[in-house]
Amino acid sequence: MSDAAIPTVPDAVGPLVGWRAWRIQGDGSPEFGPPRLYSIAFPCEWPVRRALDARCLQTHTPHLPEVPVKRCRCGIYAVRSPKHVFGALYHSEYQVLGEVFLWGRTVVGRKGWRAQRAYPKRLCVLEGSVPDSAIEGLRVYGVSVEVMGRDELAAQPATEPEPPSVWQRVMRALFT
Ligand SMILES: [Zn+2]
């Protein structure tokens, strides 16, 4: 395990949990490789059992390596309620919603946050949208993978902050 993967409890902001959407790339075939979560806005793969570290990809707002910063738009995005990302599921290539742990530097926004580091907490795959092999493939992330219909997905509750003790236990289980 590299140093970059070791989660540390943030000083100011407690561990957060948000919602976001992903697309799946790869179907387990030799040609396309194993299924992996990808961000929607950027062609960014979410690593397995390693935190995703944010990088600034905005070229018009140069700033120090700290990511995210308030005056930029960088960071890993998540929102409080699945309702804010549910619209993404109407684009057929985005089939997964889920909760993510967020930590490190965090910028608070109106609907959620932009964070320095993230890892999925729980994945909800839209029923009928993804082959079973891809759903099984997502289990390498080591978190719960649930299949549900649109209505059930839309009815998922907004997130609550995770107590630090629970969060640390989950992080240890995932990354060691
Ligand atoms: Zn930036």
> Which tokens belong to 85?
């990302």
Segments forming the whole domain that contains residue 155: 14-175
CA 77/CA 102 separation, integer angstroms: 9
**Average per-residue pLDDT for the chain:** 83
Contact 15, 112 (CB under 8 A): no
In tens, the pLDDT along 41-97 reads 788 999 999 999 999 988 887 887 889 998 899 999 999 888 888 766 666 566 889
Region of residue 21 (phi > 0: left; psi between -120 and 50: alpha; otherwise: beta): beta
Is residue 1 a part of any domain in this protein?
no
Instruction: Output phi, psi for 120, to 5 deg.
Output: -60, 140
Spacing, Cα 166 to ligand 1 middle (Å): 31
Is residue 153 a part of any domain in this protein?
yes
Residues with a beta carbon under 5 angstroms from ion ligand 1? 56, 58, 72, 74
Spacing, Cα 41 to ligand 1 middle (Å): 14
Structural domain count, the chain: 1
Spacing, Cα 106 to ligand 1 middle (Å): 12
Spacing, Cα 72 to ligand 1 middle (Å): 5
Angle (nearest 5°) at CA 41 between 35 and 47: 35
Spacing, Cα 149 to ligand 1 middle (Å): 36
- The verdict on whether omega for the bond into residue 68 sits within 30 degrees of 0, i.e. cis, is yes
What's the predicted TM-score (pTM) here?
0.85
Is residue 4 a part of any domain in this protein?
no
